[in-house]
């Protein structure tokens, strides 16, 4: 049986906070005992806050390009400047929506720049290296609790041809993010040629069912799912290569 267990965190995470201690403390306060084989799913927002990825918008000086694009797409010029700085390429800019490729290789709205759940006139950026952030949390749980777990850091993305948004994995540690069935045979004996399941994204989406955006639940534990362990893994393996991306 697979369980999805919410982890409520009452503290407002601030730059330089020890995120591992905050999360493990919250797990204990919620009367949860972390177990070997658990998957800890963490919203990137608290990771970014702890890593100091908060920008005071009063200190942002928009470029002429940012000012021009902001006017065309009804954006705050300061936010537009951050989007440009966090992007390697603007892929679409239409009807107030900016879709870009980030320095991580992610394709998402506004390069992940977000003003929700942040105090004052500020914006939060994505972690610099979400895979490394995931590894730090995984190693901390091993060191402090003696448990072998996987960690997934998530963000909320829109999807081509589908309304609504869903959580996806932007950083992973200890888990193979894709389960391949290529070469296996289906129930009728046919060899499967293209079936690869993005299990890290599916786990991220399952966790979001209990991770309320405004309810103080930025983390969850997935228990009972037998995932493929991986000493070295990266969420970058979930990125579709440009040569195969039909939406660009």
> Splitting the chain (248 residues) into consecutive groups of 10 residues, what average pLDDT does each group show?
94 93 95 96 97 97 97 96 97 90 94 90 97 98 97 93 93 92 63 77 96 84 95 91 78
Domain 55-123 has CATH 3.40.630.10: no
Question: In whole angstroms, what is the distance from residue 94 CA to residue 96 CA?
Answer: 5
Contact assessment for residue 32 and residue 23, using Cβ atoms and an 8 Å cutoff: no
What per-residue confidence (pLDDT) applies to 188? 65
Where exactly are the structural domains of the chain?
Answer: 3-53+127-240, 55-123
Which pLDDT does position 247 carry in this prediction?
73
User: Which pLDDT score, from 0 to 100, does residue 154 have?
Assistant: 98
Q: Is the pTM of this model over 0.85?
A: yes
Provide the pLDDT for residue 15.
95
Q: What is the pLDDT of residue 160?
A: 82
- What pLDDT, on the 0 to 100 scale, is given for residue 28? 94
For the domain spanning 3-53+127-240, the CATH number is: 3.30.1330.100
Q: Give the list of residues 6+ apart from residue 241 with CB closer than 8 angstroms, or none.
A: none
Q: Do domains 3-53+127-240 and 55-123 have the same CATH topology?
A: no
């Amino acid at each position: 049986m697979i369980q999805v267990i919410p982890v409520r965190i009452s503290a407002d995470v601030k730059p330089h906070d020890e995120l591992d201690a905050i999360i493990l403390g919250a797990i204990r306060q919620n009367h949860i005992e972390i177990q070997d084989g658990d998957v800890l799913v963490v919203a990137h927002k608290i990771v970014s806050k702890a890593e100091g990825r908060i920008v005071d918008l009063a200190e942002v000086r928009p470029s002429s390009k940012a000012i021009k694009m902001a006017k065309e797409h009804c954006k705050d010029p300061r936010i537009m400047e951050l989007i440009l700085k966090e992007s390697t390429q603007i892929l679409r800019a239409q009807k107030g929506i900016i879709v870009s490729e980030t320095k991580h290789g992610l394709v998402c709205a506004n390069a992940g720049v977000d003003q929700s759940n942040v105090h004052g006139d500020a914006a939060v950026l994505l972690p610099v290296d979400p895979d490394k952030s995931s590894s730090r949390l995984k190693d901390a749980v091993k060191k402090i609790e003696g448990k072998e777990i996987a960690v997934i850091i998530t963000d909320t993305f829109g999807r081509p041809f589908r309304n609504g948004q869903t959580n996806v994995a932007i950083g992973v540690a200890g888990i193979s993010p894709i389960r391949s069935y290529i070469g296996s045979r289906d129930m009728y004996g046919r060899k499967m040629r293209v079936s690869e399941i993005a299990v890290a994204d599916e786990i991220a989406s399952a966790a979001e069912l209990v991770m309320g955006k405004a309810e103080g639940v930025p983390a969850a534990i997935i228990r009972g799912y037998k995932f493929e362990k991986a000493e070295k893994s990266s969420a970058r393996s979930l990125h579709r290569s440009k040569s195969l991306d039909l939406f660009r």
